[in-house]
């Protein structure tokens, strides 16, 4: 691939990395089709995308950690069940019609976008009155103080992981709305958690691709990874400078855009 094309692609992907990092997402749903448009092989694009997400999430996680927006202990509660659900979903994906599920998922994203937009962030940290208080844990991270009902959250994230694995999408795309709307985890903490989860998912996925014999073209992947690393750092810094009302609008807009892209691809 010509150097000028890689340079232009790097600039485009850097621009996309910023808003995704701003809300705690990896961005693979946008990176893969963009790379395929410029001529990167359909088999190479997912592997390069995972390599890029690994770089972008590390970049964003550094910023979020410095801002005390990542609750590492809370991550230990949710990553194992999400991983189990994702594995099971990936296993059964060959036996179900994922096109119909993709449509349902797109509708879910639109509903989630609306609920996040209407969400009363003044109630952050409080257990939702409709959520049973089973295995409640109280967490303090930086200026954030919140409580979560693990007895409800853990079974739910297994189901979310299952759906994500079946559709081949990042679990953070499902996790983010649930933590914000249903469990009222502070938005900035949720974004930090989502960022780390996206990075772990990318690392595991990349290892699986390489173990399965997929080739990683490092000469293309590395400059693109550096570009999204820079973009993600800009986006994560913007995230903490953005007010919560504007941040929830950004999340809602991106979720609707992803839903539209998924419907376009499916239909």
Domain spans of the chain, in order of start: 3-266
Q: Which residues contact 241 (CB under 8 A, 6 or more apart)?
A: none
pLDDT reported for residue 168: 59
pLDDT reported for residue 169: 63
Per-residue pLDDT of the chain (267 residues; tens, 9 = 90+): 678 888 999 999 999 999 999 999 888 778 888 887 888 776 778 888 889 988 999 999 999 999 998 999 888 888 888 778 777 776 776 676 667 777 877 888 898 889 888 887 777 767 777 777 788 888 878 788 888 888 888 888 888 778 776 665 666 777 888 888 888 888 899 999 999 988 888 887 788 777 777 778 888 899 999 999 999 999 999 998 998 888 889 889 988 988 888 787 766
pTM strictly above 0.75: yes
3-state helix, strand, coil in the chain (%, to 5): 75, 5, 20
pLDDT reported for residue 98: 61
For residue 189, what are the CA distances in angstroms to 75, 125, 240? 11, 10, 11
């Amino acid at each position: 691939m010509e150097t000028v094309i890689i340079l232009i692609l790097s600039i485009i992907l850097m621009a996309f990395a910023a808003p995704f990092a701003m809300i705690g997402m990896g961005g693979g749903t946008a990176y893969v089709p963009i790379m395929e448009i410029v001529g990167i092989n359909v088999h190479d694009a997912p592997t390069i995308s995972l390599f890029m997400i690994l770089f972008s999430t590390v970049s964003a996680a550094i910023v979020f950690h410095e801002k005390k927006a990542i609750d590492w202990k809370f991550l230990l509660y949710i990553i194992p069940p999400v991983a189990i659900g994702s594995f099971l979903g990936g296993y059964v994906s060959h036996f179900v019609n994922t096109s119909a599920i993709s449509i349902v998922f797109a509708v879910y994203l639109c509903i989630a976008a609306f609920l996040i937009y209407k969400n009363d962030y003044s109630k952050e940290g409080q257990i939702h009155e409709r959520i049973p208080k089973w295995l409640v844990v109280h967490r303090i991270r930086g200026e954030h103080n919140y409580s979560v009902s693990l007895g409800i959250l853990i079974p739910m994230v297994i189901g979310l992981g299952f759906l994500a694995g079946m559709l081949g999408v990042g679990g953070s795309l499902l996790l983010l709305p649930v933590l914000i709307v249903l469990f009222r985890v502070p938005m900035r903490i949720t974004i930090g958690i989502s960022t780390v989860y996206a990075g772990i998912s990318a690392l595991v996925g990349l290892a699986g691709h390489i173990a399965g014999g997929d080739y990683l073209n490092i000469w293309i992947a590395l400059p693109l990874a550096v570009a999204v690393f820079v973009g993600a750092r800009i986006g994560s810094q913007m995230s903490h400078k953005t007010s919560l009302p504007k941040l929830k609008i950004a999340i809602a807009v991106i979720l609707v855009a992803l839903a539209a892209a998924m419907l376009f691809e499916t239909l």
